[in-house]
Amino acid sequence: MAVPKRKWSKARSRRSRSNWKLTTPTLIECPQCHEKMAPHQVCKSCGYYNGKDVLQLSADQKG
């Protein structure tokens, strides 16, 4: 079994872990209903994508 030749210092370990962070999700505003939505996906509140009605949502489902 492989064994490390030298011990990693605390600074080296912490510096290595410095990039383990969460990124905030990218959100854009829907041009139809002005709700926040993920880019390149159908708006979940109004059903529009790229200026076209893709999902047929009922009146009670639309915000």
Residue 60 domain flag: yes
Segment 22-27 long-range contacts (CB within 8 Å, at least 24 positions apart) = none
pLDDT tier, 37 (very low <50, low <70, confident <90, very high otherwise): very high
32 part of a folded domain: yes
Whether 55 has a pLDDT exceeding 90, the answer reads no
Looking at the predicted structure, is the pLDDT value of residue 33 above 70?
Answer: yes
Instruction: Establish if 33 belongs to a structural domain.
Output: yes
pLDDT for 51 equals 83
Structural domain containing residue 38: 24-63
- 39 band by pLDDT with thresholds 50, 70 and 90: very high
Q: Count the neighbouring beta carbons within 10 Å of the beta carbon of residue 42.
A: 17
Task: Identify the band that residue 56 occupies on the pLDDT scale cut at 50, 70 and 90.
Answer: confident
Under 8 Å between Cβ of 63 and 35: yes
**63 or 17, which is more confident:** 17
> Would 6 be classed as within a structural domain?
no
For the chain, how many structural domains are there in total?
1
Question: Does some domain include residue 4?
Answer: no
